[in-house]
Structure 1
Amino acid sequence: MNKPRHFISLLDLSSVEIRALIQRAISLKNARNPDFQPLKGQVLGMIFEKSSTRTRISFETGMTNFGGSAIFLSPRDTQLGRGEPIKDSARVISSMVDAIMLRTNDHATVTEFAEHSSVPVINGLTDLLHPCQLLADMQTYFEHRGDIQGKTVTWIGDGNNMCHSYINAAIQLDFNLRIACPDGYSPNADMLKSAGDRVQMFASANEAANGSDLIVTDVWASMGQEEEQKLRERAFEDYQVTQTVMNHAHADALFMHCLPAHRGEEVAAEVIDGQHSVIYAEAENRLHAQKALLELLMCA
């Protein structure tokens, strides 16, 4: 039996495939054809260790749009939550569904699950990466400004899973990434090294934003880090995306945030609700980018 194709990281697709997927997502968004049901009768198992708004709705709606269905599974609903070995769960669940999406804490959970799954496994978010969000972000940029190759993107804030996925995107789509993080919150050193000179680190948000085409940020304390909130507020106080920061970027620069956002913390309200912001198109594109991804993996 052929091994299934998984989507754990942007590095699992070639740069040509990512660009084709983005264009396919744009086509699916524009066509909105209810008669196109390539996944009719197919089932996506969705395993959530972490709660979600956009991930659950977009995958469930995408499967429904394509004529298939999705099953929502939380730790309370499965033996995974009671300590069943991951390889056992993977083998059993994958024998009953056509693809699996996991949104989990530990990245190793997804990689081990994929290793033992007989169907495609999609990374819906881990502590290391959030590749599905990057597909949506890149689709949004392509729609508004064309290909991102050779452009300058600035990440401001925590060197978290979103930052790591932007590093992978810079490698795959050949853009320059500037990262501004406070001491102690830098991205994974090995991932930084893998990107070579495509990525530069900055101590100042304003300096990192100079000449940028896209500014991106995320919450200062992600899910599970709430107890660090006060500590992080002090560490990140100079890393809010303000209008001053945006003024250092190109006049037509875009602003993105994967949401949920805290206005007045990582981003000023006048920025996220202003003319540079494309956050709602970005959020909607989770649906279209993931439909293109489901088609790629499940119709192969």
Structure 2
Amino acid sequence: METLINFAADLKKKEKHGIPQRFMSGKHIALIFEKQSTRTRSAFTVAAAKLGANVEYLNKNDIQLGSKESVEDTAKVLGSMFDGIAYRGDHQTTVESLGEHANIPIWNALTNEWHPTQMLADFLTIKEHLGTYKGKTITFVGDGRNNVSHSLLVTGAILGANINILAPESLQPAMSVQKIAYDIAKGSGSKLLITSDIEKGIANSDAVYTDVWCSMGEEDALDERVKLLSDYQINQKLMDMTGKKDTIFLHCLPAIHDKSTDVGKLAYEKFNVDGLEVTDDVFRSPASKVFDQAENRMHTIKALIAVTCGNVH
């Protein structure tokens, strides 16, 4: 992971200076996306094109994956034609089955359980703004059971960062994920804290990270989540509780920070709040590095697909 993060930083610098990076000329990659996407789809498409690869986008209506054709059969067919496949969908078992049978690189572009490509962008962003991620305290606030929180907990443990998960007890990471992270942390020196105590969880945070309160497919749970998470909104008062002047704010996006979206309007009408997981003033503040994160999705995915599928060396 450190190799990928460092390589992404190098590719980003070279791109800013107009240095070509055609490591995948003549390659063909497929994007199988069963879930909506803005940043991930754009990042894979642009990254592949910049590297010289051709991209074919396949949504769930284009192919028979899992319906009329098994994942194994689909993997073998596409694996004989493409040089790499990115999969974004519900089930971790699907992406693992593709990896088992396709005989080409398979990239997890998001499942219900994990969001690994997001982590590459996050830790590159942290390194850019804090100098390093090792020993830094990154606090995730909100729904601690989702794929971003799970991925952050494990990735932080791998990379030697200190990870706090600040969430109500009913929304804390799965015990199986906690075990993975704590086992890894024994070797890396990472310090992990999972708590519902806001003051304890937010103190000394170098980065504060949040995500939407209702993930894709959970919009019906908005009322319940607002009741559970209203005290965990990222506002300036919470940011000040870190005790540090240079704490940065992170969000994997999209964010409900004002009334400019349908969900934001609904939240205002139902709960009289202008923003859900983060207030607009924090989202637009100098501490906010969310658009650097978004750009870094492309640079880190470029590094990932170049190393695993391209002619880098």
TM-score by length of 1: 0.91
1:34 deviation in Å? 5.6
Name structure 1 gaps, 5 residues minimum. 1-17
2:304 corresponds, among 274, 288, 293, to 293
**Matched-pair contact (CA < 8 Å) for 1:158–1:185:** yes
**Matched-pair contact (CA < 8 Å) for 2:169–2:195:** no
**Equivalent in the alignment of 2:196:** 203
Task: Please say if 1:230 is aligned against 2:223.
Answer: yes
**Matched-pair contact (CA < 8 Å) for 2:165–2:193:** yes
1:194 deviation in Å? 2.2
2:138 corresponds, among 153, 164, 173, to 153
**Equivalent in the alignment of 1:140:** 125
Greater CA drift, 196-205 or 125-134: 196-205
Task: Please say if 1:177 is aligned against 2:163.
Answer: yes
Deviations along 1:61-98, one digit per CA (max 9) or x if unpaired, are: 01110111111000100011634111111111111100
Q: Secondary structure at the match of 2:76?
A: helix
Deviations along 1:38-83, one digit per CA (max 9) or x if unpaired, are: 1001011100010101111110001110111111000100011634
**Equivalent in the alignment of 2:249:** 255
Q: 1:1-80 alignment to 2 at 5 Å?
A: 18-32=1-15, 33=18, 35-80=20-65
1:195 deviation in Å? 2.1
Name structure 2 gaps, 5 residues minimum. 186-190, 258-274
Task: Name the CA distance, whole Å, in 2 between partners of 1:36 and 1:85.
Answer: 36
Task: Name the CA distance, whole Å, in 1 between partners of 2:232 and 2:23.
Answer: 45
Task: Please say if 1:191 is aligned against 2:177.
Answer: yes
Q: Secondary structure at the match of 2:209?
A: strand
Q: Secondary structure at the match of 2:44?
A: helix
Q: 1:239-250 alignment to 2 at 5 Å?
A: 239-249=232-242, 250=244
**Matched-pair contact (CA < 8 Å) for 1:99–1:120:** yes
CA RMSD, Structure 1 to Structure 2 (Å)? 1.3
**Equivalent in the alignment of 1:279:** 290
1:111 deviation in Å? 1.1
**Matched-pair contact (CA < 8 Å) for 1:34–1:65:** no
2:111 corresponds, among 126, 142, 159, to 126
Task: Name the CA distance, whole Å, in 2 between partners of 1:34 and 1:46.
Answer: 26
Give the share of equivalent positions with the same residue, in percent: 36
Task: Name the CA distance, whole Å, in 1 between partners of 2:230 and 2:129.
Answer: 30
1:21 deviation in Å? 1.4
Deviations along 1:135-182, one digit per CA (max 9) or x if unpaired, are: 001111111111211111101011210001111111211111111111
**Equivalent in the alignment of 1:9:** none
Task: Name the CA distance, whole Å, in 2 between partners of 1:90 and 1:206.
Answer: 48
**Matched-pair contact (CA < 8 Å) for 1:75–1:81:** no
Which letter maps to 1:297?
T
Greater CA drift, 74-83 or 168-177: 74-83
**Matched-pair contact (CA < 8 Å) for 2:157–2:163:** no
Q: Secondary structure at the match of 2:109?
A: strand
**Equivalent in the alignment of 2:268:** none
**Matched-pair contact (CA < 8 Å) for 2:30–2:58:** yes
Deviations along 1:203-255, one digit per CA (max 9) or x if unpaired, are: 13333110010100000000010111111111111110111111122211111
TM-score by length of 2: 0.88
Which letter maps to 1:84?
E
Task: Name the CA distance, whole Å, in 1 between partners of 2:234 and 2:197.
Answer: 11
Task: Name the CA distance, whole Å, in 1 between partners of 2:87 and 2:279.
Answer: 32
**Matched-pair contact (CA < 8 Å) for 1:206–1:244:** no
Task: Please say if 1:219 is aligned against 2:212.
Answer: yes
1:286 deviation in Å? 0.3
